[in-house]
């Protein structure tokens, strides 16, 4: 009996030790992937993304979605951070005062970034992710767990789920595809489950990043959103398709309009 109890205790200790070691390896892999990604972000300096973005300042008394301004930006990496450089308005290149003002703003940003290297931020433990120009903390505010293993391009990758820790105030989840041997992040999936700020209600989005070198570049992103104007809710879909590495197309449109009395602002729009 005593021998059986000892064997059971040994088995439990071995199991706990193995579990702790696995979690330690997962933590290490996530940290390594974050550090590797920060280094890879430096390569983004050579790429320019051009976005066409339509804005609406007038809903025509809540009846129509009316684009009133069309701007064109270059997406740059300046000082390790996403930078939007305005290059055209309403289909015409910037000129005059607008061009001078934008060039001055860009030169000031370049001056502030002089001497910057991505290694300067390695100790911060954050992944620089170009998702709505946000910096998502990984892994401090997230708990991460190994859920399965997958093969991609002949490599055995760990698939790790990252969920917000209690009290973090975050409403996003991440899925990471990591090579545990090199720490390279091969794929990245980002989900916003709900956002209850004043402009967006029930926001839901999926972003997937993939690059053969492990640099996180968006291939396709999709956002389902709901905005409120007066007594109406506008359900819409926004999509971005990235062709090659230098350009992408961005579109957004309203799919339906409902009176606020029949809408549930706490739920995400149907896909």
pLDDT tens digits, the chain, 271 residues: what are they?
Answer: 333 333 333 333 333 333 444 667 666 666 666 555 545 444 443 344 444 444 444 434 444 444 445 667 665 656 656 567 777 777 788 889 999 999 998 888 888 777 654 444 333 322 322 233 333 444 566 777 788 888 877 888 888 887 777 776 666 677 777 777 766 667 767 665 554 443 343 344 444 554 444 444 545 556 555 555 556 655 666 565 554 444 445 555 556 666 654 434 343 333 3
What is the separation, in whole angstroms, between the first and last Cα of the chain?
Answer: 59
Query: Domain locations in the chain?
Result: 24-262
> What is the distance between the alpha carbons of residues 217 and 130, in angstroms, rounded to a whole number?
8
| DSSP tag of 193 | -
Under 8 Å between Cβ of 160 and 138:
no
Tokens (6 digits) for 217: 């570049």
Residue 41, burial from CB neighbour count under 10 angstroms (0-12, 13-18, 19+): buried
């Amino acid at each position: 009996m005593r021998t059986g109890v000892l064997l059971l205790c040994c088995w439990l200790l071995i199991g706990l030790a193995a579990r702790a070691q696995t979690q330690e390896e997962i933590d290490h892999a996530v940290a390594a992937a974050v550090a590797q990604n920060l280094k890879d972000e430096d390569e983004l300096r050579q790429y320019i993304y051009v976005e066409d973005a339509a804005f609406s300042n007038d809903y025509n008394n809540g009846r129509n979605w009316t684009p009133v301004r069309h701007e064109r930006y270059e997406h740059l990496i300046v000082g390790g951070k996403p930078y939007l450089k305005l290059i055209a308005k309403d289909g015409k290149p910037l000129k005059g005062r607008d061009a001078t003002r934008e060039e001055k703003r860009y030169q000031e940003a370049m001056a502030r970034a002089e001497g910057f290297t991505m290694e300067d931020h390695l100790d911060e433990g954050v992944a620089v992710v170009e998702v709505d120009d946000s910096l998502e903390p990984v892994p401090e505010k997230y708990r991460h767990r190994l859920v399965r293993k997958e093969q991609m391009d002949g490599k055995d990758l760990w698939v790790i789920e990252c969920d917000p820790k209690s009290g973090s105030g975050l409403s996003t989840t991440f899925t990471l595809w990591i090579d545990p041997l090199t720490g390279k992040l091969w794929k990245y999936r980002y989900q916003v489950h709900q956002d209850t700020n004043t402009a967006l209600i029930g926001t839901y989005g999926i972003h997937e990043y993939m690059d053969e070198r492990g640099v996180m570049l968006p291939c396709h992103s999709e956002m389902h959103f709901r905005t409120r104007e007066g007594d109406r809710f506008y359900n819409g879909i926004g999509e971005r398709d990235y062709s090659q590495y230098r350009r992408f197309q961005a579109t957004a449109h309203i799919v339906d309009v409902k009176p606020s009395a029949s809408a549930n602002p706490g739920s995400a729009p149907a896909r």
